[in-house]
A and B are shown apart, each in its own frame.
Chain A
Amino acid sequence: MKFYIDYMCDLKSTMSEIEKALVELKALMKYRAEQLGYEEDFRGLGLTSRKNLCLHPSVKREKSGAVVDARCRSLTAGFVKEKKDRGENVDVCVYHDNLDLLEPHNLVPNGVWTFDGILRYGEENKQCPYFTMQYCNVVIFSYHYLLDPKIAERVSRDFSKDCIVVFDEAHNIDNVCIEALSTDITNESLHKATRGAQNLERKISEMRDTDQEQLQTEYQKLVQGLRDADEARQEDAFMANPALPEDLLKEAVPGNIRRAEHFVSFLKRFIEYLKTRMKVRQVISETPPSFLSHLREHTFIEKKPLRFCAERLTSLVRTLELTNIEDYQPLQEVATFATLVSTYEKGFLLILEPYESETAEVPNPVLHFTCLDAAIAIRPVFDRFYSVIITSGTISPLEMYPKMLDFPTVVQESYTITLARRSFLPMIVTRGSDQSAMSTSFQVRNEPSVVRNYGDLLTQFAKITPDGMVVFFPSYLYMESIISMWQSMHILDEVWKYKLILVETPDAQETSLALETFRTACCNGRGAVLLCVARGKVSEGIDFDHQYGRTVLCIGVPFQYTESRILKARLEFLRETYRIKENDFLSFDAMRHAAQCLGRVLRGKDDYGIMVLSDRRFLKKKDQLPKWINQAILDSDVNLSTDVAISSAKRFLRTMAQPFKAKDQEGISTWSYKDLLEHQENSRSDNFRIREFVGDQQAFGAPQNVDSDLHEYDDDELDQEMMQMGMP
């Protein structure tokens, strides 16, 4: 069967993952070219920020991404080019201008381009890699680019409706959705916004003196409606609108913010209002309608002009031809906030926290504008694309996601893993060697016996595990306290005999250094144990394959910090709107993180590792683990004490030490061409039998792994169509 995808965006979470996926894709395409005997007309690219891709000699030296963006825009924006054409002396980017000489649909030769590859190609041919990244068969980028409304429009405008969107590693997708729409406003950002507004005012008065016409044309356009103004200069639309309803764009801008100076005074009033609100010294949580009515009472700002705030600012910035956008970032944030707060009555909440912590004396107010409904951010994606696939190794329970994201699934399926041998050993350890229960629940987490038992568990496993070992704690705070207690109990000294001890910190630099040392120690045979946090950077996206991770130890159930007001509000919302109970959600959230931690250790078919869940509370939550882990837990491996766990781990390691050839996997976890044909034959006859049995309607083949909204295909038909499309 030939397989061909017209457009596909695969969404990953970090840049290193994107690079990894691109390398894999490249290998795949190479293999296909070998097998087929010719190169296919295929292009695959990754998408990342200007900062990572810039080639301009002076711009690329800048350190901050925002500065790179701003300088790049000042060199490549449409009006700069116009000026150049008029013969004025302005700086332009030669890399970008070279692109104009090429055919827009054929900027790079076919093939899969990794970031390194595209940079090298850009340098050789003097063309800008950032602007090259369009028109491809497969585009891989971070899913912030699609979900964050501030950038989504710009990125996804080029994708057609029938392109297939794959959200990979999507177990965290609801949190990303929520983050994308939430804003935090602090005193500092308000000050900056005020400064931005003053700058705007100055620019406007300057322009009124020199170039009255520009403002007048903008005004005329706004009288007619936003869309026209938008389309006129879409190519340098750098600040796109947040999730605005379509009808708003077609409507004309309200009369009282049509003129530039009126709009700026409007913004200033709004910012001043926010500043005054921030002075309150008690926690306030209120809904958008209540906020709006209070706002109206004090500043006479109506809801309607507020809704247009973000769009109006974009238009104004464009008219003034401002290039140093980073100065206006805080102002843009405030405008976005204004638009969102007036657009959505439900699903958002304003929480004002005057103090950073309960005990703090010095006020540092933060106005959290939190999105509670993950469905709002992802709805445009479902509306726009026909086929959306949400997939992850640790997405469980499956029913939770359609409920939270508010969409119907066409196909939803959980698959088990096929392995030639039992290559991972999940265990639930609930008691220490002295038979007392182990748990990290708040009442007992600091009791010496619990801490000692956990320490004992760590020492024992450090003793028997070859090479690398990873330990996950529920939070930084707990990790710090338990490490210091272990230190005073001389447990770490014991561990030190067998393994190097490394710790993850919130600082990314330190952590990457620790990881590097960890890798070295695992490779040269010293062995190391990495202590990290279940919600930290290490648990997402860093692989501990082969010798880097032979045991993963999950100490305690990684629940969220339940005292957070934002979390409480979200729980309340989930219960009210989607009828998801607090405890269900919390335990679901904890278990997906636990599963994510466990999955770090098994990264391939020839890999093996031990997974230990050590908490009394895991006993009841066992069913919430993904199917492939849950099925591998034998009844005899549940509710163990440390010593029993150690002896069964020893046995497991001994079996794993037996020679294991690639040939052993054949027919089970790796298939040859013959096996494949056989399977096809089997499933076809199965299908046929079912069809005969059922007689009519919808007895169509095995379920495809596609969450498509519109079409249901017959397998054979699909094959046939694919053939036709693939045939050159």
Chain B
Amino acid sequence: MPRETQAEENFTLDRCPACGRMRYLNHDMEFRVSTICYHAICTVCIRNNFHQGPSKCPIMSCGKTLRTKDFKKAWFQDLGVQREVDIRRRVATVFNKVEDDFQDLDSYNAYLEDVECLTDDLVNGDDDKKKLAELKLQQWEAEHRAEIERNRRLANESEATRRKRMAAEEALAQQRRELEIQEEAEEKLQERKFREEMLDSLQQGEQGKANETVSKILLKKRGQHKKDVALDAAGAPALSIRGLVDKKRTATVLDDGPYDPFMGLDLLPTRVDVSRERLAQYDNDTLKKVKMDDAWKAGGYSAEEYLSRALFEAFAGLGVFVDEEMGERGVSTQGAAQAAATGATGGRMDID
């Protein structure tokens, strides 16, 4: 990309704070920023001051010892932000966990906040805080060396695939564009050819039969139109799934335990109590006989079964609205169509 090459030179000043030379008189002035104290001086000053080895920063109030290799180009005009970004770069290479490494969102967010606090301390904190944060950073690096390495590799890989995908999409779009332009040109050519053909045949045709000639040609044209092939849509880009690890883990855990065909669905009625004791209390003349006479039970007949079925049948229809279901299904039969037309029944309308 062109911007990568030229974006480097973004930081400029009109006057070098060290030697006082002005841009107005020296068009080709370039500036470098020290990565230690973030003072900017012109390249000439750097050569003069540091070519013989380390020396003090030419800015009076600073007094830090710098070397030539400490100076580099700045991307941002605001050097405070430049410094912050440099620190962030360092932090990001160490704290490079991604969302996939965490069990849930809360812990990921907590991690992000911790990192942010550490960065903030490094950027804005006083000396004590800075030291503490520095220590923490080094400690973490020492402890998680393997993990950091692994994450870096993964990030590189995903970045590469992403780039590849984008390039592929771009190429595909380009291809489609070219195809379309080609098609358009072809269409135009066809049109011209058709017109010429028409004129030719009119010219050559017999006198007084112009209409027939024209219709013949039109028929030919229509036949050609049918041959048009539709361009199939571009293939879907490669799928990539990201997210918390937790989802995958819960999926595997669920597999334990005995197989349940109803997936935990409980068929027992919840609103009525049909336990054996309750049903036994129910009194009815017909049932009394059944309860008294063991001969009834011999065949397997059970009064409780009968009662619970009766209850089920009585309440099963609640919550089902026949009218609505009819409406949803649409008026499909002849009789229903008639009924709807006269407005006699018809689905109840949904008004709030």
Using a CB–CB distance below 8 Å, which chain A residues touch chain B?
Answer: 160, 162, 223, 251-259, 261-262, 265, 268-269, 272-273, 275-276, 279-280, 282, 284, 289-290, 293-294, 298-300, 575-576, 691, 695-697, 711, 713-714, 716-717, 720-721, 725
Contact = CB atoms under 8 A, between A and B. Distances in A.
Given A255-B111, A298-B75, A717-B343, A262 B173 contact: no
B351 A280 contact: no
Contact of B350 (A223, A711, A725): A711
Contact of B85 (A298, A691, A713, A717): A298
Nearest to A222: B109
Interface in B209-231: none
Contact of B76 (A160, A252, A261, A272): A272
* Most chain A beta carbons < 10 A, residue from B10, B341, B346: B341
Interface string B266-288: 00000000000000000000000
B77 interface: yes
B11 to A, nearest CB: 9
A276 B2 contact: no
Contacts of B110: 255
Closest 8 CB pairs of A and B: A255-B112, A255-B109, A255-B113, A256-B116, A256-B112, A272-B81, A300-B88, A716-B343
B81 A717 contact: no
Given A696-B337, A713-B349, A252 B106 contact: yes
Contact of A252 (B109, B114, B332, B341): B109
Contact of B176 (A162, A223, A576): A576
Interface in B1-60: 2-3, 6-7, 10
Contact of B346 (A223, A696, A717): A717
Interface in B82-136: 84-85, 88-89, 92, 105-106, 108-117, 120, 123
Nearest to B110: A255
Contacts of A273: 76
Interface of B: 2-3, 6-7, 10, 75-78, 81, 84-85, 88-89, 92, 105-106, 108-117, 120, 123, 162, 166, 173, 176, 180, 330-334, 337, 340-341, 343, 346, 349-352
Contacts of A261: 120
B116 A691 contact: no
Given A252-B105, A262-B117, A276-B10, 20 more contacts: A255-B110, A255-B112, A255-B113, A256-B116, A257-B116, A262-B120, A272-B78, A272-B81, A273-B76, A280-B3, A299-B85, A300-B88, A575-B180, A576-B173, A576-B176, A696-B332, A697-B330, A697-B332, A714-B343, A721-B349
A256 B113 contact: yes
A714 B342 CA distance: 10
Contacts of B331: 696-697
Contact of A265 (B6, B108, B120): B120
A294 B110 CA distance: 26
Given A279-B10, A717-B346, A259 B106 contact: no
Contacts of B77: 272, 275-276, 279
Nearest to A251: B105
A300 B85 contact: yes
Contacts of A279: 10, 77
A289 B92 contact: no
A312 to B, nearest CB: 13
Chain B contact residues, majority secondary structure: helix
Contacts of A275: 77-78
A69 B341 CA distance: 55
24 contacts: A251-B105, A255-B108, A255-B110, A255-B112, A255-B114, A255-B116, A257-B116, A259-B117, A265-B123, A269-B81, A272-B81, A275-B78, A276-B7, A276-B10, A276-B75, A279-B10, A279-B77, A691-B337, A695-B337, A696-B331, A696-B332, A696-B334, A721-B349, A725-B351
A300 B84 CA distance: 10
A349 B134 CA distance: 41
A353 to B, nearest CB: 14
Nearest to B9: A279
Nearest to B4: A294
Contacts of A268: 81
B351 A721 contact: yes
B340 A714 contact: yes
Contact of B112 (A251, A254, A272, A721): A254
Contact of A282 (B2, B10, B92, B117): B2
A713 B166 CA distance: 48
Contacts of A298: 75, 85
A269 B85 contact: yes
B340 A269 contact: no
The residue in B88, B106, B332, B343 that gathers the most chain A C-beta atoms within 10 A of its C-beta is: B343
Contacts of A697: 330-332, 337
Given A160-B352, A269-B85, A575-B180, A262 B116 contact: yes
A298 B162 CA distance: 18
Nearest to A269: B81
A254 B99 CA distance: 11
Given A272-B76, A300-B92, A711-B350, A259 B116 contact: yes
A254 B2 contact: no
Contact of B7 (A256, A280, A717): A280
A696 B116 contact: no
B109 A254 contact: yes
Q: Which of B10, B81, B332 has the most CB of A within 10 A?
A: B81
Contact of A284 (B3, B113, B350): B3
Contacts of B115: 256
Contact of A280 (B6, B108, B109): B6
A576 B172 CA distance: 11
Nearest to A694: B337
B109 A714 contact: no
Contacts of A575: 180
Contacts of A265: 84, 120, 123
Contact of B166 (A276, A289, A717): A289
A279 B3 CA distance: 11
Contacts of B109: 223, 252-255, 258
B112 A714 contact: no
A258 B105 CA distance: 14
Nearest to A253: B109
A311 B7 CA distance: 31
A284 B346 CA distance: 61
B120 A300 contact: no
Contacts of B350: 711
A162 B332 CA distance: 27
Contacts of B116: 255-257, 259, 262
Nearest to A695: B334
A258 B113 CA distance: 7
Contacts of A280: 3, 6-7
Contacts of B78: 272, 275
B341 A691 contact: yes
A259 B118 CA distance: 13
A139 B75 CA distance: 52
A273 B85 CA distance: 11
Contacts of A276: 7, 10, 75-77
A273 to B, nearest CB: 8
Given A259-B113, A279-B10, A300-B89, A714 B346 contact: yes
